[in-house]
Structure 1
Amino acid sequence: MTTEDVLLTADADGVRTLTLNRPKAYNSLTVELKERLLAALREAAADPAVRAVVLTGAGKAFCAGQDLKEHVGLLQAGDPSPLSTVADHYNPIVRAIVDMPKPVVAAVNGPAAGAGAAFAYASDLRISAQSANFLMAFANVGLGPDSGASWTLQRLVGLGRAAELMMLARTVDAEEAQRIGLVGEVVPDEELAARAQAVAKKLAAGPTVSYAKIKEVLGTAAESSLEEALAAEDAAQTVLGGTADHREAVEAFVAKRKPEFQGK
């Protein structure tokens, strides 16, 4: 990879780190970056060697959302493609994160706004640097939420708080984000990368097939009745009970040793 690449990819210990790499533009999302990110997420999902994913940004920002300069320039040139970017890019990216059959950790290294914030909300775990903040600024430009934020944000902080953050377009700093449940952990800026890698490495060494089912069952339960949630749990346990990882965990418990999970 070169420093000119808009998306950097690195692998270590079963963890694939995807770094949005337009630091001078606060990692705002151009068509090229959106297409690269979508392809990279799909590749990570399909690669059995990848057992956890870290999503982060280069420089001082996580992601400022849509690159409005490119957006306006294309519209002024008569190009209609910006009007379809939600369907063509944002929705598929969020689906790729949510449907990823392995854990996704958002390492929020700085400001996250709009679609950038929504990508963090869609991730399974969020670790924030102290300097990070979150902003749902759609109303400021006369738009409504996209990138799944209407679905993910209220599940993290509640309907009333989500409406407040979207309608008032109020910036939430890292301390408040942790207090209201938007992020799970806040660390000093200089410790973020190492902490995110440590968490992802721990997940990568775990029963990833179980994590995939946890994601699936939580998604079902978020929008179903109790009976439907119970049925989904039952179905998942039936599958997981027959996995090599489950047998390994039971045998390791009996032998009083640490299990070695294979994701099978």
Structure 2
Amino acid sequence: MSGLTVTTVGAVVTVHFDGSRGNALDHERYAGLRAAAESVTADQVLVLRSAGRHFCTGQDLHQHEAAVAEGRFIEELRHGASAVLAVLRCRGPVVVAAQGACVGAGALLVACADVAVLAEDGWLRLPELELGLPLGAAVAERLLPPPLVRRMMLTGEHVEARMLGSSGAARVVPRSDLDATVTQVVDALCHLDPGRRAVARRLWGDDERERAASAYEREVAASVALLVGHDSAGRRRV
């Protein structure tokens, strides 16, 4: 699939964005990500990583503008949200390795992780309100304190990896150590008995993940309602 590869080695399913276009999320990348996340079993581990300077610069703006112009924005919004939800509801543990920019949906993918590993140059930004969408806080609050998420959403402020490291929300390492650290994390997860790991993950996180997913679905529904209210064709002029 264009823009990403999905490989399975043993119990590890890896989604690797290829580095093109800042790893912006277009229709095909969203589709590939969703399919991969939904295929993962409780006995497997899902790893998200990318080539290039940035982990993910968010929505592909060229496709976004085309979708707005053609009246397909609501359809594309739901399509992208379904991929984020698939990662959040993944049956196996999720590991995210991120460097550089993690913007919009890219930041939400980091927040979906059971274990997030960030390079020291990593940073997160949530610009959805700039597009008129009250979208993303429900997932971002898995990783960041709610007051900080609100500030990020309202002011466009970005958060650097070191803040995530100091709070314990992510493991932060030099860029040169990112791959090796992720390998260590995945090896540790695979060393655990898969059945007991799955039970522990359900006990510790199922309710929390589903609350976040349900709240995100409400954000999507509210965003759709705003879009429909703005334009009888369901388009949002941004």
TM-score bucket (shorter structure): 0.7 to 0.9
Q: 1:39 to 1:223 in 2, by over 3 A?
A: closer
Question: How far apart are the structure 2 equivalents of 1:162 and 1:42?
Answer: 27
Question: How far apart are the structure 2 equivalents of 1:138 and 1:25?
Answer: 19
Select 2:54's aligned residue among 39, 61, 82: 61
Question: How far apart are the structure 2 equivalents of 1:138 and 1:158?
Answer: 18
Select 1:82's aligned residue among 66, 73, 76: 73
Q: 1:58 to 1:141 in 2, by over 3 A?
A: same
Equivalences for residues 63-212 of structure 1 within 5 A: 63-76=56-69, 78=70, 80-90=71-81, 92-145=82-135, 149-183=136-170, 185-212=171-198
Look up the equivalent residue of 1:36 and give its one-letter code: G
Q: Aligned-pair distance for 1:94?
A: 2.6
Gaps of 5+ in 2: 212-238
Q: 1:117 to 1:128 in 2, by over 3 A?
A: same
Q: Aligned-pair distance for 1:13?
A: 4.6
CA contact (8 A) 1:157 1:181 kept: no
Gaps of 5+ in 1: 225-264
Question: How far apart are the structure 1 equivalents of 2:169 and 2:57?
Answer: 17
Q: Aligned-pair distance for 1:204?
A: 1.5
Q: TM-score, normalised by structure 1?
A: 0.72
Question: How far apart are the structure 1 equivalents of 2:130 and 2:68?
Answer: 19
Match of 2:7 in 1: 10
Q: CA RMSD in A?
A: 2.2
Q: Deviations over 1:202-257 (max 9, x none)?
A: 10221222333333332326789xxxxxxxxxxxxxxxxxxxxxxxxxxxxxxxxx
Look up the equivalent residue of 1:88 and give its one-letter code: H
Question: How far apart are the structure 1 equivalents of 2:210 and 2:56?
Answer: 29
Q: TM-score, normalised by structure 2?
A: 0.79
Match of 2:34 in 1: 38
SS in 2 for 1:32: helix
* Rg larger for: 1
Q: Deviations over 1:134-188 (max 9, x none)?
A: 111112333222xxx32232233222122112111111111122224442x1111
Runs (4 or more) in structure 1 with deviation over 6 Å come to none
Question: How far apart are the structure 1 equivalents of 2:95 and 2:210?
Answer: 23
Identical counterparts, % of pairs? 24
